[in-house]
Copies of this chain bind each other. A is one copy, B any other.
Amino acid sequence: MKKKLEALNCLYPMPTVLVGTVVNGRPNFTTIAHVGIMNVGKQNYISISSWKGHYSNIGIKEKGMFSINIPSEDMVEETDYCGIFSGKDTDKSTIFEIFYGEMKAAPMISQALINMECKLYKTIDFPAHDLFIGEIIETYCDEKVLTDNAVDLSKVKPVLFDMHRKQYWKLGEPLAKCWDIGRGLKKGDMQNH
Protein backbone atom coordinates (compact mmCIF):
# COMPACT_ATOMS: atom_id res chain seq x y z
CA MET A 1 0.00 0.00 0.00
CA LYS A 2 1.46 3.35 -1.05
CA LYS A 3 1.19 6.38 1.19
CA LYS A 4 1.38 9.96 -0.11
CA LEU A 5 4.17 12.07 1.38
CA GLU A 6 3.21 15.49 0.00
CA ALA A 7 5.89 16.01 -2.62
CA LEU A 8 8.69 15.15 -0.18
CA ASN A 9 12.16 15.04 -1.70
CA CYS A 10 13.46 11.49 -1.25
CA LEU A 11 16.63 11.66 -3.33
CA TYR A 12 18.92 10.39 -0.58
CA PRO A 13 21.58 9.64 0.43
CA MET A 14 23.72 12.29 -1.21
CA PRO A 15 27.46 12.83 -0.81
CA THR A 16 28.25 15.47 1.81
CA VAL A 17 30.81 18.03 0.66
CA LEU A 18 32.65 20.98 2.14
CA VAL A 19 32.38 24.03 -0.10
CA GLY A 20 35.35 26.39 0.05
CA THR A 21 35.00 30.10 -0.70
CA VAL A 22 36.65 33.39 0.14
CA VAL A 23 34.22 35.81 1.76
CA ASN A 24 35.26 39.28 2.83
CA GLY A 25 38.88 38.30 2.38
CA ARG A 26 38.74 35.19 4.56
CA PRO A 27 38.61 31.52 3.53
CA ASN A 28 35.34 29.92 4.58
CA PHE A 29 33.93 26.41 4.43
CA THR A 30 30.32 25.31 4.53
CA THR A 31 28.69 21.90 4.41
CA ILE A 32 26.35 21.02 1.56
CA ALA A 33 24.78 17.74 0.53
CA HIS A 34 22.16 19.06 -1.85
CA VAL A 35 24.46 18.63 -4.81
CA GLY A 36 24.04 17.52 -8.40
CA ILE A 37 25.80 16.24 -11.49
CA MET A 38 24.85 18.18 -14.62
CA ASN A 39 27.21 17.07 -17.39
CA VAL A 40 30.08 14.64 -17.68
CA GLY A 41 32.47 14.45 -20.60
CA LYS A 42 35.03 16.92 -21.84
CA GLN A 43 33.47 19.55 -19.61
CA ASN A 44 32.19 18.56 -16.20
CA TYR A 45 29.50 20.57 -14.47
CA ILE A 46 28.24 20.00 -10.96
CA SER A 47 25.89 21.96 -8.72
CA ILE A 48 25.45 22.94 -5.12
CA SER A 49 22.17 24.21 -3.71
CA SER A 50 22.76 26.77 -1.00
CA TRP A 51 20.08 28.46 1.11
CA LYS A 52 19.92 32.13 0.15
CA GLY A 53 20.90 33.32 3.63
CA HIS A 54 24.20 31.41 3.63
CA TYR A 55 27.34 33.48 4.07
CA SER A 56 29.19 31.45 1.42
CA ASN A 57 26.83 32.66 -1.30
CA ILE A 58 28.32 36.15 -1.01
CA GLY A 59 31.78 34.82 -1.87
CA ILE A 60 30.61 32.66 -4.75
CA LYS A 61 28.68 35.54 -6.32
CA GLU A 62 31.52 38.01 -5.85
CA LYS A 63 34.43 35.80 -6.94
CA GLY A 64 32.71 33.39 -9.32
CA MET A 65 34.68 30.52 -7.82
CA PHE A 66 34.39 27.81 -5.20
CA SER A 67 35.87 24.45 -4.29
CA ILE A 68 34.22 21.16 -3.47
CA ASN A 69 36.08 19.02 -0.95
CA ILE A 70 35.05 15.45 -0.19
CA PRO A 71 35.37 14.68 3.51
CA SER A 72 35.98 11.15 4.78
CA GLU A 73 34.32 9.47 7.75
CA ASP A 74 37.10 10.61 10.09
CA MET A 75 36.28 14.26 9.27
CA VAL A 76 32.60 13.97 10.19
CA GLU A 77 32.86 16.22 13.26
CA GLU A 78 34.55 19.06 11.38
CA THR A 79 32.15 18.53 8.48
CA ASP A 80 29.11 18.84 10.70
CA TYR A 81 30.65 21.81 12.53
CA CYS A 82 31.01 23.71 9.25
CA GLY A 83 27.29 23.14 8.60
CA ILE A 84 26.17 24.29 12.03
CA PHE A 85 28.13 27.52 12.44
CA SER A 86 28.00 30.38 9.93
CA GLY A 87 31.05 32.20 8.61
CA LYS A 88 29.20 35.41 9.54
CA ASP A 89 30.26 35.03 13.15
CA THR A 90 32.63 32.04 13.14
CA ASP A 91 36.13 32.07 11.68
CA LYS A 92 36.39 28.73 9.90
CA SER A 93 39.61 29.63 8.09
CA THR A 94 41.87 27.83 10.60
CA ILE A 95 40.00 24.54 10.97
CA PHE A 96 41.76 22.91 8.05
CA GLU A 97 45.12 23.16 6.35
CA ILE A 98 44.40 24.97 3.08
CA PHE A 99 45.95 24.83 -0.38
CA TYR A 100 45.15 26.64 -3.61
CA GLY A 101 45.17 25.52 -7.21
CA GLU A 102 44.77 27.84 -10.15
CA MET A 103 42.21 30.11 -8.53
CA LYS A 104 42.98 32.10 -5.44
CA ALA A 105 39.34 32.34 -4.35
CA ALA A 106 38.77 28.60 -4.21
CA PRO A 107 40.52 27.43 -1.02
CA MET A 108 40.84 23.66 -0.78
CA ILE A 109 41.25 21.36 2.22
CA SER A 110 44.51 19.37 2.30
CA GLN A 111 43.07 16.64 4.56
CA ALA A 112 40.14 16.02 2.20
CA LEU A 113 41.18 13.17 -0.07
CA ILE A 114 39.51 14.71 -3.13
CA ASN A 115 39.11 18.37 -4.10
CA MET A 116 37.41 19.87 -7.12
CA GLU A 117 38.22 23.43 -8.09
CA CYS A 118 35.18 25.02 -9.73
CA LYS A 119 34.44 28.11 -11.74
CA LEU A 120 30.89 29.43 -11.46
CA TYR A 121 29.11 28.74 -14.74
CA LYS A 122 25.53 29.74 -13.97
CA THR A 123 23.38 30.65 -10.97
CA ILE A 124 19.71 29.67 -10.92
CA ASP A 125 17.35 31.41 -8.57
CA PHE A 126 15.08 28.99 -6.68
CA PRO A 127 12.51 30.02 -4.04
CA ALA A 128 14.72 29.41 -1.01
CA HIS A 129 18.08 28.47 -2.52
CA ASP A 130 20.69 29.72 -4.95
CA LEU A 131 21.70 26.92 -7.29
CA PHE A 132 25.35 27.39 -8.19
CA ILE A 133 26.45 25.37 -11.20
CA GLY A 134 30.21 25.09 -11.42
CA GLU A 135 32.50 23.86 -14.14
CA ILE A 136 35.26 21.73 -12.69
CA ILE A 137 38.61 23.27 -13.64
CA GLU A 138 40.88 20.80 -11.89
CA THR A 139 40.52 17.85 -9.56
CA TYR A 140 43.11 16.94 -6.94
CA CYS A 141 43.24 13.63 -5.16
CA ASP A 142 45.41 11.95 -2.62
CA GLU A 143 47.26 9.12 -4.36
CA LYS A 144 46.32 6.71 -1.59
CA VAL A 145 42.65 6.67 -2.71
CA LEU A 146 43.54 5.27 -6.13
CA THR A 147 43.28 1.59 -7.01
CA ASP A 148 44.51 0.72 -10.52
CA ASN A 149 44.54 4.48 -11.26
CA ALA A 150 40.83 4.93 -10.51
CA VAL A 151 39.30 6.55 -7.44
CA ASP A 152 38.33 3.83 -4.97
CA LEU A 153 35.34 4.88 -2.86
CA SER A 154 36.12 2.19 -0.30
CA LYS A 155 39.28 4.21 0.42
CA VAL A 156 37.60 7.63 0.18
CA LYS A 157 35.01 6.61 2.81
CA PRO A 158 32.57 9.40 1.93
CA VAL A 159 30.03 10.84 4.37
CA LEU A 160 26.53 10.21 3.02
CA PHE A 161 23.71 12.55 3.99
CA ASP A 162 20.10 11.67 4.75
CA MET A 163 17.67 14.50 5.47
CA HIS A 164 14.85 12.14 6.48
CA ARG A 165 16.48 11.12 9.74
CA LYS A 166 19.17 13.85 9.84
CA GLN A 167 21.73 11.11 9.69
CA TYR A 168 25.16 10.67 8.15
CA TRP A 169 25.77 7.17 6.80
CA LYS A 170 28.84 5.20 5.77
CA LEU A 171 29.20 3.67 2.33
CA GLY A 172 28.50 -0.07 2.45
CA GLU A 173 29.71 -3.06 0.47
CA PRO A 174 29.87 -3.39 -3.33
CA LEU A 175 26.53 -4.63 -4.69
CA ALA A 176 27.11 -5.33 -8.40
CA LYS A 177 28.90 -4.11 -11.53
CA CYS A 178 27.15 -1.46 -13.62
CA TRP A 179 26.34 -2.04 -17.33
CA ASP A 180 26.89 -5.69 -16.47
CA ILE A 181 24.59 -7.32 -13.89
CA GLY A 182 21.52 -6.43 -15.99
CA ARG A 183 22.84 -8.23 -19.06
CA GLY A 184 21.83 -11.53 -17.46
CA LEU A 185 18.17 -10.65 -17.76
CA LYS A 186 16.49 -11.78 -20.93
CA LYS A 187 13.15 -10.66 -22.22
CA GLY A 188 11.61 -13.94 -21.17
CA ASP A 189 12.78 -13.45 -17.57
CA MET A 190 11.25 -10.03 -17.54
CA GLN A 191 7.80 -11.27 -18.35
CA ASN A 192 7.86 -13.43 -15.24
CA HIS A 193 8.32 -10.41 -13.01
Q: Are A76 and B176 in contact (CB under 8 A)?
A: yes
A20 touches B (CB below 8 Å)? no
Inter-chain CA distance A68–B168, complex, in Å, is 23
A131 touches B180 (CB 8 A): no
B49 contacts A38, C-beta separation under 8 Å: yes
A151–B171 Cα distance when bound, in Å, is: 18
Q: Are B170 and A175 in contact (CB under 8 A)?
A: yes
- Complex CA distance for A142 and B164, rounded to whole angstroms: 15
Residues on the B chain within 8 Å of A124, using CB: 38, 122
Please tell me how many copies of the chain the complex holds: 2
Do residues B47 and A38 form an inter-chain contact, with CB atoms below 8 A? yes
Minimum Cβ distance to chain B for residue A173 (Å): 5
Q: Tell whether A131 pairs with B182 under 8 Å between CB atoms, given A143-B3, A169-B171.
A: no
A8 touches B160 (CB 8 A): no
Interface string of A172-185 (1 = CB under 8 A from B): 11111111111111
| Residue positions of A touching B, CB distance < 8 A | 1-15, 17, 34-47, 49, 68, 70, 73, 76-85, 94-96, 99, 110, 114-116, 122, 124, 126-129, 131, 135-143, 146-147, 150-153, 158-185, 190-191, 193
